[in-house]
Amino acid sequence: MSEREDKTQVCIVGAGPAGLLLGHLLRAEGIDCVVLERQSPDYVLGRIRAGVLEQVTVGLMERLGLDSRLKAEGLIHDGFNLADGERLIRIDIADLTGRHVVVYGQTELTRDLMDASAERGLTVVYEANDVALHDVESDAPFVTYEKDGQAHRVSARIVVGCDGFHGPSRRVIPAGVAREYEREYPFGWLGILADVPPCNHELIYANHERGFALASQRSEVRSRYYIDVPLTEKLEDWPDDRVWDELAIRLGPEAAANITRGPSIEKSIAPLRSYVFAPMRHGNLLLCGDAAHIVPPTGAKGLNLAASDVHYAAEALTAFFRRNDADAVAGYSDRALARVWKAERFSWSLTRLMHRFPEDGPFERAMQVAELDYIASSRAAQTSIAENYVGLPV
């Protein structure tokens, strides 16, 4: 089979929000790039993911001028709630930090980036099969793939892996130069998406004796709810009515009184893990997003952490191609990881606070109660939570 070759400055593997954001930022700086995605556009848009955006993510969309729909449809949230039994502790992030978060589904943000690709000159190749990275330690790395029976080769100066936890990019980094940090949790989140109004205008994270629950939303008429379940649970054992019943118990009477039930349009169980891969750069390969780290969804850091990676990567690559600043690329991993670890800490600590772990006993539960009591009565504690939730500076 003959091989077609394309040449570019940056080859981005993965066309999720991280890959598309980076591609648009580089094109805005006049840097040539090609984005490769193994799935179809419909499949990418069908992935139900995050919905709470920090300022770093909103700011990148504003910078690109792709925020018109986000501004029109995004919901500004000035706070969120921690629930423990019948108590609701509101964290007023606007008062405590002077900032806010925006509720806008990852699917919608991805759609905005997709729709702008052609007019912005961003080349995205979907359904690129058998993607493989080569010679990333050299100054002439390249990526091969197959599409429609034709072999392709993309020669680049830099390759960026935005291809998620299961993608090929991270795997080309030798084990001898890498270190992995991982914490797997003994439960998963069962999520249900339904076209019903939310039970509260702000998110509620609930710690109940029966387990964790989260009430969130994607819009004024679309709600996303979660409960934690053992990893042994099967989706077919959780019909919609059982999920709604459990949510009503765990979220408490005030929230339960405002729950509108409806048929699920998506339902899934996702395992939880904390994971960091270091370094996030090897030779002329950079990693962004889930390719390098995973956070439990508690705290809504996944997409936003990918966006901060993209912010650092775009700065480093712009400096490299405009000023031949190799030190900027060399420093990317340290800059990104400094923020990654802070986000990992916050997501881990909020997960630990709001979930009942199987191995926990009366002492651990008493510690949760004491921590929630402290948060409820301390502006300093609430400020710390609010600063992390709304997003630390990049």
Could you give the CA distance from residue 140 to residue 142 in angstroms, rounded to a whole number? Answer: 7
Residues in the chain: 394
Residues linked to residue 49 through DSSP beta bridges, in sequence order: none
Could you give the CA distance from residue 134 to residue 323 in angstroms, rounded to a whole number? Answer: 26
Q: Does residue 197 carry a catalytic annotation?
A: no
Residue 269 and residue 235 in contact, taking contact as beta carbons nearer than 8 Å? yes
Which of 77, 282, 311, 355 is an active site residue? 77
Name the 3-class secondary structure at 62.
helix
Q: What are 159's two structure tokens?
A: 């390759």
Residue 159 and residue 10 in contact, taking contact as beta carbons nearer than 8 Å? yes
Residue 109 and residue 64 in contact, taking contact as beta carbons nearer than 8 Å? no
- Of 349, 341, 311, 290, the C-alpha closest to 106 is 290
Could you give the CA distance from residue 136 to residue 130 in angstroms, rounded to a whole number? Answer: 17
Residue with tokens 């019909």: 239
Which of 152, 208, 282, 301 is an active site residue? 301
**Residue 168, Cβ neighbours under 10 Å: how many?**
17
Could you give the CA distance from residue 124 to residue 251 in angstroms, rounded to a whole number? Answer: 43
Which of 297, 311, 332, 355 is an active site residue? 297
- Of 298, 297, 206, 222, the C-alpha closest to 255 is 206
Q: Does residue 332 carry a catalytic annotation?
A: no
Q: Does residue 301 carry a catalytic annotation?
A: yes
Q: Looking at this protein, which amino acid is placed at residue 24?
A: H
Which of 104, 185, 205, 332 is an active site residue? 205
Contacts (Cβ under 8 Å, ≥6 apart) of 146 = 128, 129, 130, 152
Could you give the CA distance from residue 205 to residue 297 in angstroms, rounded to a whole number? Answer: 11
Q: Does residue 297 carry a catalytic annotation?
A: yes
Q: 21 vs 50, 126, 147, 311, 337, CA distance in Å?
A: 16, 16, 24, 9, 19
Contacts (Cβ under 8 Å, ≥6 apart) of 236 = none
Q: Looking at this protein, which amino acid is placed at residue 212?
A: F
| Residues designated as active site | 77, 205, 297, 301, 389
